[in-house]
Amino acid sequence: MTVRAQPSPQPSDRVAAANGRRVWVILVVAPLLWLGLWLAGRTLWPQVSGGVIGQISQSLRPWVTLVTEISLLMWVALWLRKAGRGLADIGLTADWLGRETLVGLLAGLILWVVAQVPLWLLGFRDMNPASGLRLTVGTPTRLLYVIGVAVCEEVIWRGYAITELHRLYRLSASVVIAVIAFAVFYLGQTVLVDWLTLPLMLYVGGWLSVLYLWRRSLIAPMVAHVVLGGLGFV
């Protein structure tokens, strides 16, 4: 009697729909939340920036950002687990760690250098990398913040968003949607002039997505993100 191999079970339509809803929660709710905070800040900041409330909000802002990022990361890990997958399935592995770290370092430096040309032409000539490096290396809490944000955002916006969207749409559309959501999310964490943040984050998010797809690993874009954060660029 011949026993035929059974095909591997495919996820049901209900499971696929649930996964689609989950990724869209990240893509829509998180950017809209931060965009709302950004708009509220634009309205309220002139009244409170000179007082005690302004000083407290300025000091708490990076930690609120980091806590939010970690919360989103925990949701992503939980949703992946419910789908029977893990972070390794979206590229977070230690395979070829040294090589991927080197690629990330070089990519981060190249991305920063290329971005200086339009910034210089637009008059932003005080983007001194040395100031960012001193801040990162000299302040352990700042270094912790830069690494934490880079890890969380690459897992969320590159690994999870692109992978899950690609189950629903073409790869090109998945990347475009994820990059736009990432850029809007960053409007609430403005580093430079507000109107310049969106195109800069589209640039950063686009190339980090290309790096992720090229390496099929989150290590390289994470390291590149840390480099950009250390240079004060994101």
Residue 219 burial (CB count, 10 A): 23
Q: What is the pLDDT of residue 217?
A: 94
Measured CA to CA in angstroms, residue 4 lies from 1, 8, 11, 30 at distances of: 10, 12, 21, 47
Cα(129)–Cα(135) distance, integer angstroms = 10
Strand, helix or coil at 147? helix
Whether the CA torsion 70, 146, 214, 25 is positive or negative: it is positive
Q: Tell me 231's DSSP state.
A: T
| Length of the chain as a residue count | 234
Q: What is the pLDDT of residues 68-84, one digit of tens each?
A: 889 889 989 998 888 88
Q: What is the pLDDT of residue 192?
A: 45
Q: What is the pLDDT of residue 132?
A: 44
CA 89 to chain CA centroid, Å, is 18
Q: What is the pLDDT of residues 125-166, one digit of tens each?
A: 555 444 444 444 457 778 888 899 999 999 999 999 999 999
Cα(50)–Cα(112) distance, integer angstroms = 33
Long-range CB pairs of 51-54 (<8 Å, 24+ gap) are none
Q: What is the pLDDT of residue 214?
A: 94
Cα(79)–Cα(90) distance, integer angstroms = 13
Selection from 75, 96, 61 nearest residue 217 by Cα: 96
The token pair at 91 is 């590229």
Q: What is the pLDDT of residue 7?
A: 40
Q: Identify the weakest region by mean pLDDT among 170-174, 223-227, 229-233.
A: 229-233
Considering the chain, what is the average pLDDT of its residues? 78
pLDDT bucket at 40, cuts 50 / 70 / 90: low
